[in-house]
């Protein structure tokens, strides 16, 4: 059994899945203002609904980012605390990969760019493709002229290829003629869980000290003055 959570996509989403990806419990509350108050009661409710205890959970799966600083911090802190308290391994899943996986499930796209609005005139960006059709998992692709699979792009940048762009940052980039984009891709904890289970089966999990967030920005936040708003 696997417990997955997400507080990065302006929501509080919790899911419990078995090793086959079957959903035993799933609940999502939209909005981010109450995440710190929502997440632990929602975990308790999900465990109760699935008739499980934390001792039954094989791994804790969480959205490691990139994305909203506060949202990443919340679910990372909860996962680390539960991992230490109950000796459960952790699995961090990329928010950009989750967007790509949702696009595959929603639109059948097998190769996409993921773009998540990072504010400050930039988007978080990555490329993903289904490598193994049987596994049906979007895998990261090295970005051209880079040794990374995730990066920051400025608004109005243009992609090298004209494959589809998905995520709420897709409309902030300059599109090729006839390039498809979908802004309405919204992953939840079920998608995070599916990706995390595949990752856990392939390489295992990590201890709490290695369950680290991914911000991409060296400075994860700026003052209003630094943002030019003061």
pLDDT at 228: 52
Q: What SS3 class is residue 181?
A: strand
Closest alpha carbon to 165 in 180, 152, 150: 180
Task: Please tell me the distance from the alpha carbon of residue 114 to that of residue 102, in angstroms, as a whole number.
Answer: 10
Please list, residue by residue across 95-129, b when 16 or more beta carbons sit within 10 angstroms of its beta carbon and e when fewer do: bbbbbbbbbbbeeebbbbbbbbbbeeebbbbbbbe
pLDDT at 159: 94
- 193 closest CA partner among 49, 103, 61: 61
d(CA 40, CA 87): 17
- With a cut of 70, list the residues of the chain below it in pLDDT: 32, 218-230
Residue 230 has a pLDDT of: 42
Its pTM stands at 0.92
Which tokens sit at 61?
Answer: 């799966």
Tell me how far apart the alpha carbons of residues 170 and 103 are, in angstroms, rounded to a whole number: 12
Q: How far is it, in rounded angstroms, from Cα 63 to Cα 193?
A: 9
Per-residue confidence (pLDDT) for residue 146, from 0 to 100:
75
DSSP state of 79: H
pLDDT (0 to 100) of residue 223 = 42
């Amino acid at each position: 059994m696997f417990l997955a959570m997400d507080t990065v996509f302006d929501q509080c989403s919790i899911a419990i899945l078995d090793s086959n990806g079957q959903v035993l419990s799933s609940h999502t509350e939209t909005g981010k203002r109450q995440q710190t108050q929502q997440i632990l009661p929602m975990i308790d409710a999900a465990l109760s609904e699935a008739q499980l205890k934390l001792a039954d959970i094989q791994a804790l799966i969480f959205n490691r980012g990139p994305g909203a600083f506060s949202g990443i911090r919340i679910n990372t802190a909860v996962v680390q605390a539960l991992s230490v308290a109950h000796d459960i391994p952790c699995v961090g899943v990329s928010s950009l990969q989750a967007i790509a996986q949702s696009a595959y499930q929603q639109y059948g796209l097998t190769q996409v760019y993921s773009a998540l609005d990072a504010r400050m005139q930039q988007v978080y960006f990555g490329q993903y493709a289904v490598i193994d059709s049987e596994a049906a998992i979007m895998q990261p692709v090295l970005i051209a002229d880079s040794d990374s699979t995730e990066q920051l792009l400025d608004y109005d940048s243009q992609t090298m290829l004209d494959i589809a762009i998905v995520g709420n940052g897709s409309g902030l980039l300059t599109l090729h003629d006839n390039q498809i984009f979908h802004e309405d891709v919204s992953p939840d904890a079920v998608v995070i869980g599916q990706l995390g289970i595949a990752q856990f089966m392939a390489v295992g999990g990590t201890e709490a000290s290695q369950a680290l967030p991914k911000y991409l920005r060296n400075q994860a936040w700026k003052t209003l003055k630094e943002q030019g708003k003061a």
